[in-house]
Amino acid sequence: MDTRLLLISHASTAAMRAARFPADDPLDAPGLADAGAARAQLSIPDNAATFVSPAVCARDTASALGLAAIVHEGLADMDYGVWHGYRLADLAVEAPLDLAAWTHDPDAAAHRGESFSELVKRVGRWLDSLDDTVSTVSKSVIHAKDSAPGHGKNKAPRDTQNAQNVVAVTHAPVIRAAIIHALGASPAIFSRIEIAPLSMIELRRSRRGWSWWPASH
């Protein structure tokens, strides 16, 4: 069976708005409000197996979207090593060469964390094992039961009604990595892909492999 994967980036956090590397920050009031508003705007199929990054901000986003998502380590944010919690402006003064390398070189990991190339490999393993992951999840717990208006009415597009639907709430770098893996592209293009908070990206897998589709909002 083909797979239709909807990747949703978590809502904005106070750290993001302060241009600071994350430190497992929860959503604040503006982020929660944005996620709640997106609930009526994102077309999320009701029969989807739903997963979420272990990060608090991702779990908060999934909850605000009305999703009963299962935590999966494969969706974890990029490991920023010793830079967790640092502001970009401070690093630009304290470690300008390291920051510049990290910004442009997918193999750079001066922060003693995960390079973007390593992230692409990790996310690629998650994507390629997705069928096995979904098969271990009981159908009775893969999606929220919600009686709120609009829920229970989201159907997959006609051309994907025979596909296995999967939703994953995760982080912008993880989504960039997923797109690069799906396209078989070089990790060097990572800085050219912009993923805004609460964006939804659609990937599909068929016998030909993964492809990137416009998401249905």
Q: What CATH number is given to the structural domain containing 142?
A: 3.40.50.1240
* Domain assignment of residue 208, yes or no: yes
**Which of the 8 DSSP states describes residue 59?**
H
Number of domains in the chain: 1
| pLDDT for res 80 | 96
* Domain assignment of residue 2, yes or no: no
* Domain assignment of residue 100, yes or no: yes
| pLDDT for res 153 | 47
Distance CA 108, CA 112 (A): 9
Per-residue pLDDT at 78 exceeds 50: yes
Q: How confident is the model at residue 114 (pLDDT cuts 50, 70, 90)?
A: very high
* Domain assignment of residue 153, yes or no: yes
* Domain assignment of residue 124, yes or no: yes
Q: What pTM was estimated for this model as a whole?
A: 0.88
* Domain assignment of residue 4, yes or no: no
**Which of the 8 DSSP states describes residue 122?**
H
Work out the average pLDDT over 137-144.
49
Contact (CB, 8 A) for 66 and 48: no
Contact (CB, 8 A) for 199 and 41: no
Q: How confident is the model at residue 142 (pLDDT cuts 50, 70, 90)?
A: very low
Distance CA 44, CA 50 (A): 10
Q: Which domain holds residue 38?
A: 9-213
Among the ranges given (14-18, 159-163, 213-217), the one the predictor scored with the smallest mean pLDDT? 159-163
